[in-house]
Amino acid sequence: MSANISTTTSGEAAPLEIHDLTVAYQKKPVLWGVDVTVPKGNLVGIVGPNGAGKSTLIKAAMGLLPVSSGWVKVFGTPLKENFRRVGYVPQRESVDWDFPVNVMDLVLMGRYGHLGVFQRPTKRDREIAKECLDKVKMLPYANRQIANLSGGQQQRVFLARALAQEADLYFMDEPFAGVDAATEAAIIELLHELKSKGKTLLVVHHDLPTARNYFDMLLLLNMRVVAFGPTEEVFTYELLQKTYGGRLTILSEVAEAVRTKT
Amino acid sequence: MSELIPPFDWQQHVIAPWTEGFGANIWIVLMGFFVATACGLVGNYLMMRRMALVGDAISHSVLPGIAIAFLLSHSRGTVPMFIGALVAGMITTILIEVIHKKSRVKQDAAIGIAFTTLFAIGVILISLYASQVDLDQECVLYGEIAFVPFGEPVQLTDAFSAPVPVFRMGIVAVITLIFVVLFYKQLLVSSFDAGLATSLGINATFVHYALMCWLSITVVSAFESVGAILVIAMLILPGATAFLLSHRLPVIHALTVLMAALSSLLGLHLATWLDCSMAGAMVVMASVLFVLAWIFSPLDGLLVRWVRQRKLHLEPPEEIIVVPK
């Protein structure tokens, strides 16, 4: 261990390496030749217009969608061999909130990857789930049916479940969609805490003005990668214009966002 | 009126079935219970996956599978029948997926296309080879649970024997229960969110097909003896009742089994009283239980909804009182 200190960054493969990834729905490509290597310990925002393939990128990287070409490696191996190191926060609308489970059951699902085929969640798994609920301030709601949660609470519970996965690389699909300001602040604080622990996070994000403050790195996406790099280098008028095309409303938003930067 | 509905007699319709007709009735009730338990538990997952109608589809589309199995094996043995049903069930499942994913047809229509096509092929096969197939669609679709006690017996011990259909269904019910307990995690998470399941290393596609396989086996082992109506009803009714009474899956499973037992038992008495079809009576009792749960469920039954509506302007909901810091 001590011998490797100087090479810790190069000692382990990158958390996420995407090579020449193309995804198509019925011959129509939605992602084209995505080539990205995400270095460890970064909070990466995936930004782009509607239909840019942001969610598709996450899903394809996780093996949830068939890809037309290219490959994805997680810590140097295919995801299937390394799924325990990957945590996932799907879009809130993607599940049925009438499902007959309570908050605790849902967070415990995050532990399933660590359990044997027939194994039940242990006392320790329950402790971990409780700690994670506490981190998102949802512990008092542990026994509540998930149908009786507000949008922000649902998102917090999803985050608690991702935390319970105890992963090293997280994919989050619009965790800020439809949550109130307090929840948004709580979530971003949590993401920074995870980052400070050396976790790598990829977050699909919709809101340009906040993107600049939230993320260390940005992946500007519009079917292909327009730019990927540290936020201060990538968040420029030219690149954002390239990402969003000529859409007027967005462009003025971009101009506004770039202006407030200085 | 009294000519239409026979008078109810406690002694004759409630006590007598157990004092005089015990030998036959115990098998009918057990059969009804096994069918409703196995179908009900599988049905729980179908409902959570919004696939309740797939059960209906598969119970019809196994017909060609069974017919071909008969033609090839020349027997009504359990093994060829299961294999035929399994293959047909799988083809139905795959067909539904393919039609729905590779065309603009939505899933409900895809289900309708897949099962009617296969069912029709089954009907043609049976009418074509009627002389060789000792089977008709009537018997497959409208098997009668009242004949179950007269089935060929299996000698379990020296002193104890059970009719083959009941014995077979009992095994299917027990295995279903074991599956649900052993693979609870996999079934739960893949039903809730297939993407999440995949990210947890659980193969959601495999779970889906395994569930469909088991559905085919359950359906075929049940409906030859009790008829498709009872099978389709039991896939949905006991579970639907249980869903109204609880928000936790383990409790829902337990309530499903309880509803299965109740509808089977009450159905026997209803059929004795009205002197009508046993399977029909069991389904009607299952529906009665559903309606009772719908009205009286303490969670959000009609009664509770009505009371809540009236109280609404008196108390604000708790979220408004407790402002979390």
Question: Which residues make beta-bridge pairs with A72?
Answer: A18
Q: What CA–CA distance (Å, rounded) separates A175 from A178?
A: 9
Residue B181 has pLDDT above 60, yes or no: yes
Q: What CA–CA distance (Å, rounded) separates A30 from A50?
A: 12
State how far residue A213 is from chain B, nearest Cα, in angstroms: 25
> B196 vs A118: CB contact, 8 Å cut-off?
no
- Which of A219-228, B74-83, B206-215 bottoms out in mean pLDDT, i.e. has the lowest? B74-83
Query: In this predicted structure, what is the pLDDT of residue B192?
Result: 93
Mean pLDDT by 10 residues, chain A (262 residues): 39 85 84 90 90 89 88 88 88 89 94 89 93 92 91 91 92 88 88 91 88 90 90 86 72 66 54
pLDDT (tens digit per residue) in B227-256: 778 888 999 999 999 999 999 999 999 999
Map out the domains of chain B as residue ranges: 20-150+163-316
pLDDT (tens digit per residue) in B115-167: 899 999 988 888 887 666 656 555 555 667 877 887 777 777 777 788 888 88
- Who among B50, B189, B191 is closest to A112 (CB)? B189
> A100 vs B246: CB contact, 8 Å cut-off?
yes
* Whether the Cβ atoms of residue A176 and residue A148 lie closer than 8 Å to each other: no
Choose the mutation target among B200, B308, B321 for the interface with A, i.e. most A CBs under 10 Å.
B200
Residue B316 has pLDDT above 80, yes or no: no
Global pTM? 0.85
- Who among A90, A106, A147 is closest to B195 (CB)? A90
Arithmetic mean of pLDDT, B168-182: 93
**Exposure pattern of B42-61 as b/e (b: 16+ CB <10 Å)?**
bbbbbbbbebbbbbbbbbbb
The whole-chain average pLDDT of chain A stands at 86
The C-alpha angle A221, A222, A225, rounded to 5 degrees, equals 45
What is the ipTM metric for this complex? 0.84
* Domain B20-150+163-316, second-level architecture: Orthogonal Bundle (1.10)
State how far residue A8 is from chain B, nearest Cα, in angstroms: 27
Interhelix angle B22-48/B164-182, nearest 10 degrees = 30
Establish if A84 touches chain B: CB-CB under 8 angstroms: yes
Q: What CA–CA distance (Å, rounded) separates B6 from B271?
A: 11
Question: In the 8-state DSSP scheme, what is residue A1?
Answer: -
Query: In this predicted structure, what is the pLDDT of residue B226?
Result: 78
State how far residue B316 is from chain A, nearest Cα, in angstroms: 16
Query: In this predicted structure, what is the pLDDT of residue A57?
Result: 92
Establish if B182 touches chain A: CB-CB under 8 angstroms: yes
State how far residue A116 is from chain B, nearest Cα, in angstroms: 10
Window 92-111 of A: residues touching B by CB (8 A cutoff) are 94-96, 99-102, 105-106, 109-110
Strands (E), chain A: 16-25, 28-38, 43-47, 69-74, 86-89, 169-173, 200-204, 217-222, 224-230
> Between residues B28 and B4, which one has the greater pLDDT?
B28
